[in-house]
Structure 1
Amino acid sequence: MAGSVRMMGRLSWLAAAGCLLAGGAPAGAADLGGDCCADLEERIAELEATTARKGNRKVSLEVSGHINEAVMWWDDGLESNVYQGTNDTARSRVRFKGSAKIADGWKAGYLLEFGIRTNRLPRTDADLPSASPGTPDLRHSMWFIESERYGKVSMGQTSQASDGVTEVTTANTNHFARPSLSKWNGNFDVVIDGDRKANEWRDFMAQSGASGDNVPGEGDRRNLVRYDTAEIAGFIASAAWGEDDFWDLSLRYKGEFAGFKLAAAIGYAEYSDANLRPSPALGSVPAGSASNLRGCSSIGGVDVDCSDLGLSASIMHSGTGLFVTGAYGLRDDKNRSAIFGQSVDDTDDFWSVQAGIERKWISLGKTTVYGEYAEFNTGAGITGAGTVATFSGIDATRTRQVGSDISYWGLGINQHLEAAAMDLYLAYRHHEGDVTLGAAADLSDTASYSFESLDIVLGGAMIKF
């Protein structure tokens, strides 16, 4: 309030000075009409009444975010169509953040961020052109205390240490072309031998966090306590713990060397509690079993025993703009054999590569052109709604997943518009996959089924504010 009074005083003095100057000038040179000071003070009062204000003068407030909307064309082998909606790869969001100085080299701050979706494109399918319209979700709500020398401690809902370890890149592609498969086609039903089944592509893949990236080794946002070291020669180490119980570690690097831009990350996580939200990675069958939000399996509430390893690295030649990015992830779920009562594949893994060139060929901004390939290998699982008949639409006698292999290749282009903080993108992915199913009583009694390919073209824009 005191700040507002002082500001009003300053503006009033400026208004008075303006009126005096105007009074000493010829009428034609400064004809403000009537009482100029009263008019200016009225305008100042109007602006103050309509301006967003902070709760206090000690902590800064910055409002930012972006809008990411796209058009998606798809063809599943039986049908094709075009939908419009939010690109969930980097969905629209609004962010509030700020900080305040505590002492020399020390500060405290906060981050509050909400995701916003109109039509969630990766949850649409052949029969559902609109999904989750207008549903905001809380992404971050945390505070932190940071020292320039000793690092930062954070608490609240925010990224665990391993969040983003498979998504590092030196190119401008993460807002639409991350390694995740399900951010493009997560909800589309598979088509086998010309027949659309009830199972979706993501049913045959490992679950990865609450956001469902289906990328083994990738972290997420969770309720936690986290510590990040100060940067040392481009390196930052992180550790987090939360939500009884998980813990994880990560190491990140970013720098330049001999004309190359380099970025890399590696993370390791362990999960050991079953009292978490179920996910479709193993479902809730046989009776008494369950799975947590990581897709790690549990029997009758017994703690999970699951670990993740994820990493990625990217290099770009500064002179030419040529770049290569690679990623790898692995999950080890030690409870699967106990759930199935037989020896099964208890690991999931993936790898991906993206390569291209990013240069400023036109004055508007840098252009990025790339090609990509990714492969996802998933072990044993019972997916979907949690019934032993999950795969009955495919094979009534074989209701257990022994393993699956899903891949995609793609091409894309992104044009950055510097003047508008905007990115225009157009990309294509071709998806292929197959699954091996086994009988419940004897997993060696197997049959394999190939999916019709799924083609998707995604074009849109992201604008930051």
Structure 2
Amino acid sequence: MEMFGGLTKTSSRIAIAAALGMTLGGYAMSTPAKAADLGGDCCADLEERVAELEATTVRKGNKKVSVTLSGWVVKAINFWDDGKRTDTWIGDKDADLTSRFAITGQATIAPGWTGGYNITVTAPGNFIDNANQTGGNVFGIASNQFGQDSGLLSGINTLYSYMFIKSDNYGAINWGYLSPASDNPAVLADLSGTVIESNAVLFESPSFFLRPNGAGGGGGDFASLSGFTIGNFTNCNSGIGPIGVDCYGAPQSGVRYDSPTFGGFRFEVSYTDYLGNLLTSKGPVLNGSAGLGAYATTPEAYDAALFYTGDWGNFKVSAAYSYTHLNAAVGSADINETNEIHQVGATVMHVPSGIGLYGMYQNDRVEDGRFVNAVTGSVQRTPESDAWYLKPFIKRTWSPIGATVLFGEYAQYEDQFGGLAGANVCGLAGPLAGTASCASGATVAGMFVNDSEVERWGLGVMQEIDSAAMHLFARWQHMDVDVDFTGLSAGGTLSNVNQDFDDFDLFQVGGIIFF
């Protein structure tokens, strides 16, 4: 999944890449001056030097379009502990946080009017790109607990490819494969300068299996693993992926309008062809029921976002709200159901002290959504999920090399088991403890998830190195998963059980260099 599609269009809000690109269209290479040589080979020498210059610079074609190369390289060393096994993994950050480069260009059409393009390419990520040893395919999940590489996303990928026409007075129209309006506005309202280092999106969640707390198993590092990953309980109803928030955070084919800024406010609206990521039908695969109906038409999305930045005396404020309407919803038996996502994020920072607080909230619901429970046979409502995230921070220039940011994190992701809603999860349950456990054997006919909570907290530090356009960072992330199951016995009796899982810890040290 590619969540930071909006990073290119809103980079000024996180102050990381506004002036870090290199304009190659007007780039000139210099060579030491030579004494004038009026011999017969002067022109041949000049032509050779021009040919060499052209071979080492970006060609502009018609010489009217500027070309800019920008991006970043990010690398991290990751140490994790799942309650029984520890290991280390080295690689990039994930999805569109990973290393990337963008080629952008524009040309003047008329005074106040420009036209241009953007092509952004990303490198392989760190966690979600690894192999899925279960043999299935859930958002390209793989587990670093098994330490395997994968071919799912092992090559470079095109993140965006679109064109635009922009007016200084009337805004811009963009079309192609691009970032929708509701792709991460609430996430990028973070003014701490640590959005790449850590944010509310749980890119790591689909990559690690959970160990049931108090369960047996023995006999090896993997024997007590359940079939559940953290990502099973951080699903988006949109089907974008098990990432917790920013639930329409993926590039799509479509058209987007970006307004000019008025008094600190601006807005975006977009229409995209929503492919539903891995979905090919309405629910039959995800909720374990057959024959619920295919999509009547190509799924579509309409979304909008409102942004604000401003200075209030000694305080700097950044805020964003986005609304997403999808005419298709995951796990619903009704092909006419819709998915609606509301997200809001804001930062208030006291500039003299550098103390600030960022927070975001997301509500993700299927309007009157319903699905067939594979265990009980009853029709149930698709769960409505909520997620919220807080990041207190202090940003001060204690060192001449650049600013230092200290930050903390706390988040909750409630009832995001959408892909498991109503499914018979006995085959995934593993050695769960309690009366509704599949370990009870024939006495349990089936089991489904009733509700869930993923709790997360962490600490981090980031050091800017201004002279090298670089960040160095270290962070600790802790996650705890708590799930309520309902089991159906062979006699038809329902029994509820709460299952806790071993805590998961991730320690990450790395760096980013911008260009």
TM interval, short-chain normalised: 0.7 to 0.9
CA deviations 1:192-222 (Å, max 9, x no partner) are 1242112111012222663652216553321
Identify the range of structure 1 (204-213 vs 141-150) with the bigger mean alpha-carbon deviation: 204-213
Q: What is the 5 A alignment of 1:416-427?
A: 416-427=464-475
Which residue, out of 33, 47, 58, partners 1:52? Answer: 58
Counterpart for residue 19 of structure 2: none
Counterpart for residue 361 of structure 1: 398
Where do 5+ consecutive residues of structure 2 fail to align? 1-26, 130-141, 216-223, 274-298, 439-443
Which residue, out of 400, 407, 429, partners 2:448? Answer: 400
Q: What is the 5 A alignment of 1:61-460?
A: 61-88=67-94, 90-117=97-124, 119-120=126-127, 123-132=142-151, 134-167=154-187, 168-181=189-202, 183-192=203-212, 193-194=214-215, 195-207=224-236, 210=240, 212-215=242-245, 219-243=249-273, 244-273=299-328, 296-299=330-333, 302-334=335-367, 336-340=369-373, 341-344=378-381, 346-378=383-415, 381-383=418-420, 389-393=426-430, 394=432, 395-396=437-438, 397=444, 398-439=446-487, 445-460=495-510
CA deviations 1:222-278 (Å, max 9, x no partner) are 1111112111011111111121311111101112220211111001111113xxxxx
Q: Is the 8 A contact 1:382 1:400 kept in 2?
A: no
Q: CA deviation at 1:160?
A: 0.9
- Three-state SS of the structure 2 residue aligned to 1:203 is helix
Identify the range of structure 1 (208-217 vs 432-441) with the bigger mean alpha-carbon deviation: 208-217
TM-score scaled by length of structure 1: 0.82
Distance in 2 of aligned mates of 1:34 and 1:104 = 46
Identify the range of structure 1 (118-127 vs 319-328) with the bigger mean alpha-carbon deviation: 118-127
Q: Is the 8 A contact 1:110 1:144 kept in 2?
A: yes
Q: How many residues align?
A: 420
Distance in 1 of aligned mates of 2:386 and 2:380 = 18
Distance in 1 of aligned mates of 2:59 and 2:424 = 53
Distance in 2 of aligned mates of 1:160 and 1:315 = 26
CA RMSD of aligned residues (A): 3.0
Distance in 2 of aligned mates of 1:380 and 1:206 = 6
Q: CA deviation at 1:155?
A: 0.9
Distance in 2 of aligned mates of 1:218 and 1:72 = 27
Counterpart for residue 30 of structure 1: none
1:19 aligns with 2:35: yes
**TM-aligned CA distance change 1:212 to 1:34, over 3 Å:** farther
Q: CA deviation at 1:424?
A: 0.5
**TM-aligned CA distance change 1:42 to 1:307, over 3 Å:** same
- Three-state SS of the structure 1 residue aligned to 2:225 is strand
**TM-aligned CA distance change 1:220 to 1:121, over 3 Å:** closer
Q: CA deviation at 1:136?
A: 1.6
Counterpart for residue 280 of structure 1: none
* Greater strand content: 1
Q: CA deviation at 1:388?
A: 5.3
CA deviations 1:308-327 (Å, max 9, x no partner) are 00010011111111110000
The letter for the 1-side match of 2:146 is: D
Q: CA deviation at 1:380?
A: 5.6
Q: Is the 8 A contact 1:161 1:219 kept in 2?
A: no
The letter for the 2-side match of 1:242 is: T
Counterpart for residue 288 of structure 1: none
Distance in 2 of aligned mates of 1:391 and 1:82 = 26
Q: CA deviation at 1:402?
A: 1.2
- Three-state SS of the structure 1 residue aligned to 2:53 is helix
Identify the range of structure 1 (354-363 vs 344-353) with the bigger mean alpha-carbon deviation: 344-353
Distance in 2 of aligned mates of 1:308 and 1:443 = 36
Distance in 2 of aligned mates of 1:199 and 1:39 = 68
Identify the range of structure 1 (200-209 vs 231-240) with the bigger mean alpha-carbon deviation: 200-209
- Three-state SS of the structure 2 residue aligned to 1:189 is coil
Q: Percent identity among equivalent residues?
A: 28
Q: Is the 8 A contact 1:216 1:349 kept in 2?
A: no
Q: CA deviation at 1:165?
A: 2.5
Distance in 2 of aligned mates of 1:217 and 1:330 = 10
Identify the range of structure 1 (350-359 vs 111-120) with the bigger mean alpha-carbon deviation: 111-120
CA deviations 1:52-84 (Å, max 9, x no partner) are 312321221111111111000000011111110
CA deviations 1:339-364 (Å, max 9, x no partner) are 33344462011001001111111111
Counterpart for residue 463 of structure 1: 513
The letter for the 1-side match of 2:477 is: R
Q: Is the 8 A contact 2:70 2:103 kept in 1?
A: yes
Distance in 2 of aligned mates of 1:336 and 1:399 = 21
The structure whose Rg is larger is 1
Where do 5+ consecutive residues of structure 1 fail to align? 1-6, 24-32, 274-291
Q: CA deviation at 1:303?
A: 3.6
Distance in 1 of aligned mates of 2:179 and 2:246 = 16
Distance in 2 of aligned mates of 1:125 and 1:309 = 32
- Three-state SS of the structure 2 residue aligned to 1:180 is coil
Q: CA deviation at 1:134?
A: 3.4
Q: CA deviation at 1:190?
A: 0.5
Identify the range of structure 1 (198-207 vs 361-370) with the bigger mean alpha-carbon deviation: 198-207
Distance in 1 of aligned mates of 2:332 and 2:176 = 26
